[in-house]
Amino acid sequence: MADLIATYYYRPRADTTPEHAAQALADEETTGTWTDISTTTEYVRRLDGIVDSVEPQGNGYLTRIRYPAEIFEPGNIPQYLSVFAGNLFGLGRLDSVRLLDVEFPDVLVAPFPGPKFGMEGVRRLVGTTKRPHVGTIIKPKVGLTPKDTAAVAYEAAIGGVDLIKDDETLTSQAFCPLPERVNEVMSRLDEAKSETGRHVLYAVNVSTRADRILERAQTALDNGANMLMIDVLTAGFDAVRALAEDPSVKVPLHIHRTMHGAMTRNPEHGIAMRPFARLVRMVGGDQLHTGTASGKMGHVPIAEIRGDNEALLCRCYGLKSVFPVSSGGLHPGKVAAELAALGTDIVLQAGGGIHGHPGGTAAGARAMRQAADAFMEGVSAEEYAKDHYELAQALQKWGSSAEHS
C-alpha cells in the first residue's frame, strides 16, 4: 500500500450531500480551499485526497479517504496529524466528524523505532508467559511523601502485583520530588524482591516539557527506575519517541492517555482511540491504556476496545507488540468479566480496587491476583474465594460482575 487511508464517521450539514461533504473533507486536508485559486496546477493535483467510498452508518456515513504518501514528511508525527486529523473537525459542511482509524503505508512507519521491549519483553522482565499482569496505581493520586509512596509500593509488591505506577498528575512536585521518590520506591521494591523473589516494575512519571524529558528520564534512571511513564497526549508523541530512540533508556515505557476523553468520548465527533494506539506503537510505547470492559469509564463499546488492543498486539509493520492496559474502576470482582471480554494479554490496573480492600494494600493485591488466577484455572471467583480469604473479602465489599450479568 503506497497511500495512507483514513476512515471517518461523519454527519453532513442538512444542505450538503454525503458525497460533497466527504469531498470537502478530502480537499481540506490536502490541496483544496474554499474558492477557486490560480495557483493550483496539474503537478499539485497529484496530491489530492481521494474519496474511496461513502456508506451509510447509523445516523451518518462512513468514508475512507486515501491520502498520497508523498503529501507526508516521513517520520514527522505532528505533520501526519495535521493531515488526517487537522482542520477537518471545524468544517462547516459537517455537523460532526470522527476519525476512526488510520492505515499507514510502510514508508510512513519505517522511520519509527517501535517498542524496545513490547509485551513479550515486559513479560520476560517479570517472568510470565500467558497470565494477565496485575498492576496498581499509587493512591491517593497526589499528596503522599516519598517514604509513604514507597511504603504503599512495598505493600503492593509483597501482595503480588507485577507493576506499580505513578498516577498521571504526579510528576515532581515539592511534596514528592521525583529523585527522592524513585530512590525510596526502588529501595522498598528491592526489599520486596528479597522476600518474594519477584521482579516488580515501577513506572515513574517523567512527563515534562519537551526539551527536558530526557534529562528527567535520566534522573529517574540514575535513581534506579526500571520503567518510565509518559502522559502521551499532554507531553506529545515525540516525547515517547525521544525516550524510545535514546540508547541510554534501557527500560520499558508505560504510556498513559490522560486527556484522551476530550477527543475520544463523543461517538460522533473527535478522534477514536485506534489512531492514537497505532501512533503510540510506532513511536515506541511498550504499554498503553486502552480502557475497560467493565470499569468506571466504560462508555466505549467492548468491540471497539478489542479492536484497539488488536492494533497493539497484531503482527504488523515488523514492530513489537504493545501490552494493553485496562484501568479505571477495576476491582477483583470485575476481573473475570474483563478477561473474558478482552483476553489475557492485558495488564489489569487497579487503584482503589487494591488500596480500598478491607485488609489494606497487600491484601488487595493478593485478591486481584487470586481473581486472575481463578480465571486462568477456569474457576469462578466465588468458588475460588471459598479458600482464598482476601478474594472473599473483596467480593463481600464490591460484589462481582457475575452478580450483574
Catalytic: which of 116, 139, 254, 388?
139
C-alpha cell at 355: 488500596
CA distances from 310 to 3, 49, 85, 270, 347 (A): 22, 28, 22, 21, 14
Catalytic: which of 116, 165, 254, 256?
256
Rg of the chain over all Cα atoms, to the nearest angstrom: 23
Q: How far apart are CA 241 and CA 253, in angstroms?
A: 10
Q: How far apart are CA 110 and CA 374, in angstroms?
A: 42
Look at residues 21, 179, 178, 14 and name the one whose alpha carbon lies nearest to residue 88.
21
Q: How far apart are CA 304 and CA 120, in angstroms?
A: 23
C-alpha cell at 283: 513511536
Three-state secondary structure call for residue 177: coil
> Is residue 256 flagged as an active site residue?
yes
Residue type, 114: G
C-alpha cell at 306: 478489542
- Following DSSP, what letter does each residue of 256-285 receive, concatenated? E-TTTHHHHS-TTSEE-HHHHHHHHHHHT-
CA distances from 171 to 27, 32, 154, 182 (A): 42, 43, 20, 11
Compute the Cα dihedral for 148, 151, 152, 153 and give only its sign.
positive
Task: Name 382's Cβ contacts closer than 8 Å, sequence gap at least 6.
Answer: 395, 400, 402
> Is residue 334 flagged as an active site residue?
no
Catalytic residue numbers, as ranges: 139, 256
